[in-house]
C-alpha cells in the first residue's frame, strides 16, 4: 500500500513523507491541544494557542536536525532541504484534529474527487508537456494536498488494524484520555467529554467517531488511491464490530428495563 502511494511523488517528496511520519508525534505529552491551551501550558503560550503540540513536534525535530551528529540532511542542497522542510511542516500540522474537516474538504475539492466508480487520481496521470511533473510521478502541487491526508490516515491507522490490535489501541487511548481528565479535575478545570473515569469513555463512542471522522477520511483516500482499499476494508470491519456491539448493549438494556417494569 505504501508503494502504491509513494510512486506518485519524487524521491525528495518520499523522503519528506517518511520523515514527517517518523516525527509527527515526537515528545508528545499525552495531552491534547485544548488542555494545553486551557491550562496555559508553556507550549500554548509559545505558539499562541495555534496547534501547540504539532508545532512542538516540528520545532523539536528541526532543532535536533540542526545538531551536527544528527543532521543526516547536512549535505542536502539548500533548495532541496527547504522543500523537505515545507512538506514535513505541512504534513505534521495537518494532524491537528481541529482542522480535520476543512483539510478533508480541501483534499477532495483539489483532487476533484467524484462519486464516479472509476474516478481516482491514479487514472489521471498528468502530462509531461507542462514540464512540471516527475517521470512516473504525480504533479507536485497535488502531492501537497494528499500527503497530509495520508499522514492523517496513518495517525489513526489502528482503526484499520486487525480487530484485536485495534481494540488494544483504543483501550490505551482511553486510558490516556482518562489521565488527562484526572489532571483537568485536579486543576479545577471542567473535565472534557469522554475523559471522566466515572463515565463512559471512548470505547462507548467508537461508532460515532468512525462514522463521522474515520470512514469519510479513508473513503476519500481509497477513492483517490485504490491501493488504500484494504485499509478502508479494515476500518469498515472494525466499525461493523463496534456497531453490532453497541446494538447488543442497547438490546440488553431494553430487555433489562422491561424486566424491571412494574407493569
- Annotated binding residues for Zn(2+), written as ranges, equal 24-25, 155
Alpha-carbon distances, residue 32 vs 28, 37, 50, 73, 151 (angstroms)? 9, 9, 12, 31, 18
Radius of gyration of the chain (CA): 21
Gap between the Cα atoms of 100 and 194, Å rounded: 19
Longest dimension (CA), the chain: 81
Cβ contact 113:224 at 8 Å: yes
Cβ contact 171:37 at 8 Å: no
The CA-based angle 23-29-35, given to 5 degrees, is 125
Buried b / exposed e over 83-109, threshold 16 CB at 10 Å, is: bbbebbbbbbbbbbeebbeebbeebbe
Q: Residue positions in the annotated binding site?
A: 24-25, 155
Amino acid at each position: 500500500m505504501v508503494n502504491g502511494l509513494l510512486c506518485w511523488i519524487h524521491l525528495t517528496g518520499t523522503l519528506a513523507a517518511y520523515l514527517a511520519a517518523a516525527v509527527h508525534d515526537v515528545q508528545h505529552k499525552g495531552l491534547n491541544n485544548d488542555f494545553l491551551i486551557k491550562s496555559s501550558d508553556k507550549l500554548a503560550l509559545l505558539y499562541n494557542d495555534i496547534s501547540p503540540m504539532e508545532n512542538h513536534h516540528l520545532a523539536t525535530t528541526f532543532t535536533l536536525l540542526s545538531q551536527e551528529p544528527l543532521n543526516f540532511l547536512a549535505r542536502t542542497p539548500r533548495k532541496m532541504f527547504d522543500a523537505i522542510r515545507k512538506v514535513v511542516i505541512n504534513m505534521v500540522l495537518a494532524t491537528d484534529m481541529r482542522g480535520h474537516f476543512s483539510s478533508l474538504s480541501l483534499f477532495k475539492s483539489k483532487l476533484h474527487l467524484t462519486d464516479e466508480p472509476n474516478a481516482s487520481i491514479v487514472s489521471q496521470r498528468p502530462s509531461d508537456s507542462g514540464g512540471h511533473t516527475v517521470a512516473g510521478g504525480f504533479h507536485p502541487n497535488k502531492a501537497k494536498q494528499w500527503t497530509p491526508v495520508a499522514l492523517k490516515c496513518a495517525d489513526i491507522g489502528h482503526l484499520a488494524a486487525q480487530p484485536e490490535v485495534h481494540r488494544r489501541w483504543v483501550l490505551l487511548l482511553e486510558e490516556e484520555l482518562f489521565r488527562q481528565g484526572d489532571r483537568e479535575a485536579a486543576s479545577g478545570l471542567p473535565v472534557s467529554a469522554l475523559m471522566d473515569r466515572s463515565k463512559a469513555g471512548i470505547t462507548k463512542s467508537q461508532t460515532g467517531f468512525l462514522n463521522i471522522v474515520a470512514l469519510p477520511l479513508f473513503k476519500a483516500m481509497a477513492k483517490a488511491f485504490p491501493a488504500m482499499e484494504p485499509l478502508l476494508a479494515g476500518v469498515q470491519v472494525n466499525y461493523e464490530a463496534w456497531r453490532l456491539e453497541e446494538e447488543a448493549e442497547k438490546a440488553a438494556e431494553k430487555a433489562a428495563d422491561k424486566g424491571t417494569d412494574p407493569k
